[in-house]
Amino acid sequence: MLAITISWIAISVVFLSMGDIFVSLHNRLCKQNEQYGLTDTFLLGMCFTLIPLSITSFWLPSNHYILLALLIACLIYWTVRKNHLLAVIRKVRSSFARLSIFHSAIFIIPIISLMIAIIWQVGVFDSLLYHQQNIRWNEEFAIVPGLGNIEHRFSFNSNYLLLSAIFSLRTIFGEGVYSLQVLVLIAVICWTIKRIIQSGYEIKHILLLLIITGYIFTFGYSLAATSTDAIPNIISLYLIAKLLLYPNSLSNKKLFFVIIPITLFTFKLTIIPLGLISLYILVRLARNKEYRTALFLTFVPMVILGLWFIRNVITSGYLIFPLHEIDIFTVDWKLPAFVATEEKDFIFSCGIRALNDVIWQITHPELNSFDGIYRWGMNLIFIAPILLSPVVVIYSFLKKKYLHKNVYFVYLILLAVIGVWYWGGPDPRFIGGILFAVIYYICYLLFSTRKEKLYPKTGTILTAAFSLLMAYWAVSRSIKFYNMFDLKTPKANSRPVSDILIRQYPYRELLKSLTLYTDEFLPYKLDNGATIYISKSPEIPDGRFVCFESPFPCTVLQADAPGKYQDISSVTTRGRSLQDGFRPR
């Protein structure tokens, strides 16, 4: 818990500071006066941090030294703008001072609950196979040419993995702390609860909290492991909800609605249609001859995208992997074209299989048990809202003329994301946030009236129930893991349970507690004499081999992994050190 707390403090200081710098720079250069709360400033700071982080990653490892440099830069900024800092502190303190003990508890309980819940890391295959190793590569080296030749999934190059590297705190705790996506969720939850209270418990704000609850308990597994899906899913849901609740924000929050959608693309390709929001704002600025603002809001996201594209080319040889159709570079480290082709087809086939499983379980329900009913309901919410939405939209368009036109623009965005998702690989986890945004969109239309409806008693009960549910989830999850992995019985090589007071409990340690962990990593000598480890350690008994976060560097053999298309034996080094990179033989 100590590690998570320190990690969250470091992330908050950096993102809130960088966000404030970004907003101040925008307002001064563009002669604007846009004001943002803590959540929006935090998210903008996450985006702005990617610029210096991506630049330094070309020459330096992204580790605790970069974090220290960012913290020093933040300290200098607030020292120079001391009066502004004091004003921000007074404003935040004033907001909390107005909260009752009950309202304070509603904020605090979910935060502590999520901290407890993510102590126990789960065994998500992608996380164990390459996420944690990719984060290690970011920590240990500058961007490595042809890194995708070692493991083609490294070429996805999600900016989530780059950000996670500087906040892992590995140098302090001896292993990575993976808490970034949960802090993003907490920021969104706190914003939602705050807006519920400030709105007087207006029904549409209350419904948003229910939708977020549904998302948490559907995709909660991605919170307790590294995940390239979680942040784009959480923020896309927040983005859509914010547009619906405050449709005029496209005019007075231009910086936010241009930067966030484009930056999310560098986390997850499927989210690219959200960029239509950015394009819409930029076109409006150009038409209104606000060229200074339009230029700034074009330049910054292009820098973020440009740096990400360069990193893509360095890791894989492609502008965007696995889109082999965009093949414009000739470099010796480029992954073979068949690898990109196979991976693109694999992603699509996995998505189709996942979607078919959802449809099959809907049409063949097992309603004779609670688990069967629960699975049927969860699968139904992925499909039913999409099919129902056109009817609700047409009804609202004909009967609710008072709705803002931007509400229907949001629907076009949702359809565009779903379309790209379907044709690119329709696995629900890729756009879980958008799928729940569709549910919220329908609820928003159905519950929208000319005069806002307030339900203070119902809202109070539901917000309290949410906090209690989060607490119950955290406690029950801890008890479940404690019993499932027999943590009450000390093992010779397993970590004591009391260690959770200091740091997270890794999935590997859970396997050790059940004596199911296989510690078999074979050294493999590369051409330049460097050693890379070949994993023979399965995620579960008789399961797929994974690398965990150590030993480093690590990969698996093509013969051991059906989804691996290029074996280590077909790869050679480009120089004397691992930093020089890899290329196909």
Higher-scoring residue by pLDDT: 106, 561:
106
- What's the confidence (pLDDT) of residue 377? 82
> How much is the average pLDDT of 24-30?
95
- 103: Cα within 13 Å, side-chain hemisphere: 18
Higher-scoring residue by pLDDT: 377, 80:
80
DSSP-derived 3-state class of residue 161: helix
Maximum average pLDDT range among 31-35, 287-291, 466-470, 492-496: 466-470
Residue keyed to tokens 């609820």: 443
Tell me if 183 is assigned to some domain.
yes
Q: Are 149 and 582 contacting, i.e. CB atoms less than 8 angstroms apart?
A: yes
> How much is the average pLDDT of 462-477?
96
User: What is the tens place of the pLDDT at every residue in 315-362?
Assistant: 999 999 998 888 888 899 999 999 999 998 888 888 888 888 888 888
578 CB-near residues (< 8 Å, 6+ apart): 141, 144, 530, 553
Query: Strand pairing partners for 554?
Result: 533
> How much is the average pLDDT of 468-478?
95
Tell me if 403 is assigned to some domain.
no
Distance CA 128, CA 121 (A): 11
Q: Is the pLDDT of residue 492 over 80?
A: no
- What's the confidence (pLDDT) of residue 370? 80
Q: How far is CA 282 from CA 251, 298, 301, 371, in A?
A: 11, 8, 12, 48
Give exposure, 204-230, as e/b (b: 16+ Cβ within 10 Å): bbbbbbebbbbbbebbbebbbbbbbbb
Tell me if 535 is assigned to some domain.
yes
- What's the confidence (pLDDT) of residue 434? 95
Higher-scoring residue by pLDDT: 562, 292:
292
Tell me if 498 is assigned to some domain.
no
Tell me if 271 is assigned to some domain.
yes
* Entry pTM: 0.95
User: What is the tens place of the pLDDT at every residue in 217-273?
Assistant: 998 888 989 999 999 999 999 999 999 999 999 989 999 999 999 999 999 999 999
> How much is the average pLDDT of 162-167?
97
Enclosing domain of residue 31: 2-100+178-363
> How much is the average pLDDT of 51-76?
97
Q: Quick count: other Cβ atoms within 10 Å of Cβ 461?
A: 13
Q: Are 462 and 203 contacting, i.e. CB atoms less than 8 angstroms apart?
A: no
> How high does pLDDT run on average in the chain?
93
User: What is the tens place of the pLDDT at every residue in 356-390?
Assistant: 888 888 888 887 778 788 888 888 888 888 999 99
Query: Strand pairing partners for 531?
Result: 525
Q: Are 189 and 210 contacting, i.e. CB atoms less than 8 angstroms apart?
A: no
Retrieve residue 133's tokens: 């190793």
- What's the confidence (pLDDT) of residue 372? 81
Q: Which of 342, 363, 384 is the last residue in one of the domains? A: 363
Per the structure, how many domains does the chain have? 2
The percent helix, strand, coil of the chain (3-state, each to 5) is 70, 5, 30
Q: Which of 363, 397, 426 is the last residue in one of the domains? A: 363
- What's the confidence (pLDDT) of residue 478? 94
> How much is the average pLDDT of 274-295?
95
Q: How far is CA 224 from CA 4, 185, 430, 550, in A?
A: 12, 12, 17, 18
Tell me if 11 is assigned to some domain.
yes
- What's the confidence (pLDDT) of residue 311? 97
Tell me if 468 is assigned to some domain.
no
Q: Quick count: other Cβ atoms within 10 Å of Cβ 455?
A: 14
Q: Are 429 and 382 contacting, i.e. CB atoms less than 8 angstroms apart?
A: no
Tell me if 130 is assigned to some domain.
no
Q: Which of 341, 363, 385 is the last residue in one of the domains? A: 363
Percent of the chain with pLDDT over 90: 76
Q: Is the pLDDT of residue 490 over 90?
A: no
